[in-house]
Amino acid sequence: MIVVKNGAITLSEKNLNKKIRAATKWSTTAEIISKLIGPITNMILARILAPEAFGVIATITMIISFTEMLTDSGFQKFLVQREFKDKREKYRNADVAFWSNLILSLSILLVIIIFNKQIAHMVGNPGLGYVLIVASLQIPLTSFSSIQMALYRRNFDFKTLFFVRIIGALIPFFVTIPLALLGLNYWSLIIGMIIMQTFNAIFLTIKSDWKPSFYYNFTIIREMISFSVWSFLEALTKWLCIWIDTFIISYYLTEYYLGIYKTSTIMVNSLLSLVTGAIIPVLFAALSRLQNNNVEFKKMYFKFQRLIALFVLPMGAGLLLFSDLATMIILGSQWSEASNVIGAWAASRAILIVFGYTASEVYRSKGMPKYSFYAQLLHLIVLVPTCVIAIKFGFWPLVYARSIIIIQLVLVHLVLLQRLFDITILNTIKNILPNIIAVTLMSSLALAMLKYMNSTISMFITILVCAIFYFLIILLFPKNRVELFGFIKEIKP
């Protein structure tokens, strides 16, 4: 059922819930399958390529992600969050966003081509100028896919995005690994990324009802910019928070340590995104549709936060407790130093996801991304001097300081949610208290068992016992029991 309110088209609650269930099903299935393929690919590549090769890719990825963040400029979030009167207005806005993206991306590519040597020197890899040019060819390709993805997410069409994710995950397996075996080193990773972006651009454009047309409107772009300026600033500060440690390591230390650090953090993010990648986009779309109904908005927020905590908290604790085993399985023996990075990063990232990622979706869905920017800016003020001071004492002080400082960002988000949206700190803690209790008891059991079990087989047994123990505790709490069974019901075919 479609309801018209104040001239805008909205979804009835029943229809919205149906779309959310379908979106969660396809999004979760895509994440699970792609994240099973991704780690297998990385496990193979980690045994073919040296950490230095991943260090080179980390530097290039840092630059590419920055330029892609510039080209998006928050237009994706605008198209998802904004309520349009009809399909014509929506497509007109999509046209303006597309051409703005494309022009900006081509301009940035030209800047990289002209100043490639200076940029490479600035990030601590003076010999990577031409490599950076080739890798940057994927930047304009994202203009053909980013707007399409926004429209699919707005319409809860995660079924189409499912096929994109799966095929995109298979491309590195069938392209990057063979090229790495042929001795192409980091070029194998770059070529794989370009082919994947090319596929995304072609597939999404062909499947979409909307196709770019030669339409542009300066009134629309001004409206987009007025909204997107805060999304852009928020994305910029978030990019700095994600990459500032990488920049500092690449400047002060060798490519070896950069490869160890970034490969470890990317691997942890990849595993945790089994949950976040599936649920966060659906959360944003759902909250955006409920932005004018505060009661239902808060109910939806707490429901999704419980669902995310249900899986993310035990995953973070598990990677911390079994970091040696995880490193050996995922990366191999030459990456043994990555163990402590994986453990520390997993624990801090799990906490940030539950309290920080969900808070960011609240700001954006309410059309208030400036508060996410404020939170990230306050974090940067603390993060940058912390990392600069820590690196003076070595690699490991930086790793641990970077993980601990996440607590400051979480506290800022909790205060903002309470003051702006009446989502109190007490209610937030109560909402996920069963998960905290279950994870604490599970971790205690794991530590007790690890005193007597040191072999690889015994560690797998410990993990299995702890997982069963965790979910048995979860089933004692009614709301979590409903969330767990509901989630299983929604994702099953």
Q: What percent of the chain has pLDDT over 70?
A: 78
Cα-Cα-Cα-Cα dihedral sign, residues 64, 65, 66, 72:
positive
Confidence of residue 253 (pLDDT cuts 50, 70, 90): confident
Nearest C-alpha neighbor of 49 from the set 193, 247, 263:
263
pLDDT at 382: 92
Q: What is the pLDDT of residues 52-75, one digit of tens each?
A: 666 666 667 777 767 666 655 567
Ranking 96-110, 201-215, 265-279 by mean pLDDT, the lowest is 265-279
| pTM (predicted TM-score) | 0.67
- How close are the terminal C-alpha atoms of the chain, in Å? 25
Q: Answer whether residue 306 shows pLDDT above 80.
A: yes
d(CA 55, CA 226): 38
Residue 65 and residue 262 in contact, taking contact as beta carbons nearer than 8 Å: no
Kindly indicate the confidence band of residue 358, based on its pLDDT and cuts at 50, 70 and 90: confident
Residue 260 predicted with pLDDT over 60: yes
Range with lowest mean pLDDT among 81-85, 92-96, 181-185: 81-85
- Phi, psi of 10, deg, nearest 5: -130, 165
Higher pLDDT, 385 or 484: 385
Element (H, E) at 367: none
Residue 53's alpha-carbon distances to 161, 168, 335, 369, in angstroms, are: 30, 22, 13, 36
pLDDT value at residue 30: 56
What does the pLDDT look like over 198-231, one tens digit per residue?
Answer: 888 888 888 777 888 888 888 888 877 777 777 7
Residue 493 pLDDT more than 70?
no
Determine what percent of the chain is predicted with pLDDT higher than 90: 10
Of 479 and 262, the one with more pLDDT? 262
Q: By the 8 A CB rule, do 78 and 224 touch?
A: yes
Q: Is the pLDDT of residue 82 over 50?
A: yes
Whether 2 has a pLDDT exceeding 50, the answer reads: no
93 close to 224: Cβ distance less than 8 angstroms:
yes
Distance CA 105, CA 139 (A): 6
Burial of 265 (C-beta count, 10 Å sphere; 0-12/13-18/19+): buried
Q: Which among 82, 73, 76, 147 has a CA at the least distance from the CA of 104?
A: 73
Q: Among the listed ranges 83-87, 88-92, 100-104, 315-319, which one has the minimum average pLDDT value? A: 83-87
What was the pLDDT predicted at 53? 67
Q: Give the C-alpha distances (Å, rounded to integers) separating 190 from 145, 161, 174, 312.
A: 19, 23, 14, 30
The DSSP 8-state label assigned to residue 455 in this structure reads S
Question: What's the rounded Cα separation, in Å, for the pair 154 and 133?
Answer: 33
Reported as a single tens digit per residue, the pLDDT across 441-478 is 999 998 888 887 777 788 888 889 988 999 888 888 77
